[in-house]
Structure 1
Amino acid sequence: MSNFKELIALKSAYKNRKLILFLGAGISGTLGLPNWSRLIGIMAEDLGYDPDVFKSYADNNSYILAEYYYLKRNSHFGRLRTKLDQEWHSNEIKEKLRDSDFHRVLATKEFPLIYTTNYDEWIEKAFELYEKPYSKITNIVDISSHEIGNSQIVKFHGDFSDDDSIILNESSYFRRMTFQDPLDIKFRSDILSNTVLFMGYSLSDNNIRNILYILNQMWNEKNRMNKPPCYILVKEHNEILDTVFRSWNVMPITAAELGIIEEDRNKQNTEVLLQISS
C-alpha cells in the first residue's frame, strides 16, 4: 500500500521545522501512568463513593462525573491535583522516565512544537532531564512570553499548575468547543502552515474529533488541496475509521507504512520519531 511517501513527507516537514507533534494519552503508556478510569476513581474516592457506583450514576460519562466533582469541591480541582501529583509524579515513574527511549528521543531531537492533551508533566521533565530548553504554554500569557528558539510544549487540555487552564469537566469542555480559547487560536494559526502528526490518540477522544472536524471546515473545497498534510498514527487500518479520518482530511498511517516492523506500541512510537528525525 505504501512506498513510504508518508515518511518522506514527515521527514521533509521535520527538516524544515514545519512538523507539529500532537501527543495523546497513549504516549504516556510507556511510563505506566494512571488512565482516565483511575482518574475518575480518585474523584470517587475523594467524594466518598465506591468508584464503580460513582461511574454508573452518569453512565461512565467522564466529563459529567468530573463536573460533579468540580461543583462539590467549590469549583476547584485543588484536592484532585494534589492526589494526581502523588500518583503521576512518583519516584517510581521518574525512574521509568530515565529508561524511556521515547522521551529521550522526543527531548533530544529537534521538535520545535509539541502539543499534548496530557495533564502530567513528564514531557517537560524529559526536557529538563536532557537539559533541553523549552517553553511550557498553558495560557495567553505563556503564548506572548515564550522564548524564541525554545521548543514549545503546549498543554492543550491544561496543566495542573493552572486550574483555569484545565479541560476536564463538562463545562470546561463546552467552553473549548467554541474554539475561541487562546490555545485554540494558536493551534489554528500553527496548523495553517505546518504538518501535524497525531500520536497516542483514538476516535474515542471527543475533543480531538471536534478539533479535526473544525480544522477541516476551515479550508473550503477550492483550497483544501493546499492544506498541509495531517496524519494520525493508528494501530491498523479498518474501513470505518479510515473513511471517517479521511473525510476530515486526516491521513491514517501505520508504523509499517513508515518502514517500522517493531510490534510493541511503545517501541513503535520511539522508532517513528527516530525515522522522522533521521
Structure 2
Amino acid sequence: MEHILKENNKAIVHLRQQFKNKNLGLVFGAGASMNLGFPSWENLIKDIAEHSMVDGISLYESVKNSVPQSSITDILFQHFKTKRIKELEGEDEYFIKKRLLSDWRGIIYSSLYREALKDRKGKLLSHPYLNDFIPLIQNSEITINYNFDDTLEFILSEHHQDDIQKPYQVLWESHSHYKTGSPVIYHPNGFLPEDENSQQSEELIFSDESFSDQLLESMSGKSNMILNQFTKKTCILVGLSLEDATLKHLLRQSAVLSPGNYHYYIRYTNTELSRDEKEAIFNSNFTTYNLVTLFFNDEEISTFTRLITQEAEEFQIYARELDIPIKFVNYFVGSVAVGKSSILSHFGNFHILEEWIDKRPAELVKPFNDLTPEEEEQVEKWINGQFYKKNKWLDEQREGFFLIDRSPLDPISFTNNNHEEKKRAESMLQGIANGEGLIVVPGHIIFLESDEKEQKGRLLTKRKVSWTEEFLIDLNMKTKKLYGDNYSTYIINSRSTLHDTIKNTAKVLFCDGYSEINLHTNLEVLAKQGITL
C-alpha cells in the first residue's frame, strides 16, 4: 500500500476528491470478469464455433489467423444461419428470422456463462479486486460496462439488503431515461443476464457489422451518454485493452471537446515492462486520449481502489506517517490577461478557487495608476479580504487537489515605487493574518507569461480599453521581478493555441513533480525590501 500511494499520490488524491464530490465514473471491460470464469473474447468465439448448432470449428481454425476476431463472428453467424434456415424450412419467414436471433443469443449465452455459473458467489468473493469497486459503483451515477454479462448487477445484489428495491438500474440504449438516486449500469454492447427470463437487450454488439454500426452511431451523436461521462466526469477505465474503435473514437472526441478533462486508464500488467516501454505507452495515451495510464497487477488494482475509498481520517494519518503529500495547492500567477482564468476554466474536475470570491468593485476594472487615494485604499482592503478568505479555506483543507487563480504576491506588482511595494506587502501580510495568526499556504507556483499584444487583445475583448501596451510592458517586468526564481513551473502562453497551453498545463498537474514555494517568507522579504533590490 505504501508503494502504491507513494507512486500514485496525485492520482489517488484527485480520485478521492472526485469520489467525494460524486463526480467519478467507471468503465469496465472484459478483463475485469476473467477471474469469474467468463471467457476471453477469443475463447468465447472458439466456444461458439464448437457449439453443436454452429458446428464451425473447422471453419474457425481455417480463418482465425487471417481475419479479425469480429469478422470471425460474422463468418460463424453466416455459417450457422445457412445451416439453421435449412432446418427451419417451411416455417413462416418472419418467425425464422426471430428464431435465428433467439438461437444465436442462446448459443452466446451458453458459451458465456458455462463456467461462470459454477460456484458464482465463491468466485466473486475470491476476485482479486472487483469487490473493492463496490463503493465506487454505488457512489457513481453511471457505470459503463462493455461486457454482456450481469457481473456488476450480481455484485450489487449480493451487497444489498432491500428485497423490494433493486440496488441498480440497467440500460443498454443511450436514449433511455433513468432515475437519480440509484446507480446505473450501462451496457453499450448489449446485456445478456444470467436469468434468461429477465429483461435483456434485443441486440448484442458482437460482429463487424454491429461494431461498424456502433462506430457510425457514435459519430452521429447516438453515444451521448458515454460522451457525457467522458467530458463531464473523471473516469477510471479497468479491464480494457483500448482496441475498441468506438471507445477510442469517443475518448478522442472527449479529448478535443474537453481538453482539460483527463481519465485514469488501468493497464493490466503481470509482466515487468521496461521504463521506456511504459513511458511510450503513457505518452501516447496521454497525448491522444487524455488518459493517465497506471500500470497495475491484480493486487495493485485492489490497493489503489481501497485507497480511493478509505475514510478521510485513516487515509490522512497513514499518509502523514509515511510523509507522503496528499494536499496539492497549485497557484496560477502572472500579469493581467496572461490567460490564467481561461486555462483554469478547462480544469473543472479539480477544485478551483477563482480570482475573486465576491463580486468585484467597479474600481478594480481601472488601471491602478488611475485610482484616487480613497479608491486605492478601498480596493486594497477588499483584495486583502479576498485573499484572506481563500487562504483560510485552503489552510483548513487536509487533502485535495486545488487550483488557485493568483497568489497573495500578485497585488504587490500594482504599485509605483519601492516604498509602496513594501507597504503593500505588509498590508497583505496583515490581511492574511487577520488577527488569527494565519500564514500564507505554500504551494506549487505555475508562472504564466504572455506578450503585451496578446494581453491587450484579451483585455479589449473584456471591454477594458484603458490598459495601454506601455503600461502592460511595465507591469510584466514588475511581475517577473516580483517572483524572480520563486516559481515551480514556467509556461509561456503566447503564440500558441489554447489547446496546446492546456495540454502543457495538464502535464504539469498530472505528470510532473510537485514542489512547494514558501509564499509567506517571500511576502515577508517583500515587506522589508520591496521588488527592486
Which TM-score band applies after superposition, normalised by the shorter structure?
A: 0.7 to 0.9
Task: Decide whether the 8 Å contact of 1:34 with 1:87 is kept in 2.
Answer: no
- State the partner residue of 1:211: 250
| 1:52-89 Cα shifts (integer Å, max 9, x gaps) | x5154252511111122333435623232331354154
Matches within 5 A, 1:53-92: 53-57=59-63, 59-71=66-78, 72-73=80-81, 76=101, 77-87=104-114, 89-92=116-119
Task: Decide whether the 8 Å contact of 2:129 with 2:298 is kept in 1.
Answer: yes
What RMSD in Å do the two structures reach over aligned CA positions?
2.6
CA 1:133–1:181 in structure 2 vs 1: closer, same or farther (change >3 Å)?
A: farther
2:1 is aligned with 1:8: no
**Distance in 1 between the 2:250 and 2:210 partners?**
15
Which one scores higher on RCO, CA 8 angstroms, separation ≥ 6? 1
Task: Decide whether the 8 Å contact of 2:29 with 2:240 is kept in 1.
Answer: yes
Q: Shift of residue 208 of structure 1?
A: 2.9
5+ residue gaps, structure 1, are 256-264
Q: Shift of residue 28 of structure 1?
A: 1.2
Q: Shift of residue 269 of structure 1?
A: 2.3
Task: Decide whether the 8 Å contact of 2:236 with 2:265 is kept in 1.
Answer: yes
**Distance in 1 between the 2:131 and 2:33 partners?**
13
2:167 is aligned with 1:133: yes
2:109 alignment partner AA: T
Q: With structure 1 as the length reference, what TM-score do the two structures score?
A: 0.82
Q: Shift of residue 126 of structure 1?
A: 0.5
SS in 2 for 1:48: coil
Task: Decide whether the 8 Å contact of 1:108 with 1:130 is kept in 2.
Answer: no
Q: Shift of residue 246 of structure 1?
A: 1.4
SS in 2 for 1:274: helix
Q: Shift of residue 97 of structure 1?
A: 1.5
CA 1:153–1:183 in structure 2 vs 1: closer, same or farther (change >3 Å)?
A: farther
**Distance in 1 between the 2:303 and 2:147 partners?**
21
Query: Which segment drifts farther, 24-33 or 89-98?
Result: 89-98
| 1:135-173 Cα shifts (integer Å, max 9, x gaps) | 1111256x31x2311111111221122132x21111110
2:284 alignment partner AA: V
2:131 is aligned with 1:104: yes
**Distance in 1 between the 2:174 and 2:233 partners?**
21
Paired residue for 2:301, among 258, 269, 272? 269
CA 1:162–1:209 in structure 2 vs 1: closer, same or farther (change >3 Å)?
A: same
CA 1:2–1:100 in structure 2 vs 1: closer, same or farther (change >3 Å)?
A: closer
SS in 1 for 2:25: strand
SS in 2 for 1:91: coil
- State the partner residue of 1:34: 39
Query: Which segment drifts farther, 94-103 or 10-19?
Result: 94-103
Q: With structure 2 as the length reference, what TM-score do the two structures score?
A: 0.45
5+ residue gaps, structure 2, are 1-5, 82-96, 161-165, 193-199, 311-533
**Distance in 2 between the 1:29 and 1:98 partners?**
14
1:167 alignment partner AA: I
Aligned length: 259
2:35 alignment partner AA: T
1:253 alignment partner AA: L
CA 1:82–1:190 in structure 2 vs 1: closer, same or farther (change >3 Å)?
A: closer
| 1:85-129 Cα shifts (integer Å, max 9, x gaps) | 541541323421233363433334543221111111111100111
- State the partner residue of 1:152: 184
2:134 alignment partner AA: A
Task: Decide whether the 8 Å contact of 1:104 with 1:130 is kept in 2.
Answer: no
- State the partner residue of 2:262: 229
**Distance in 2 between the 1:16 and 1:55 partners?**
51
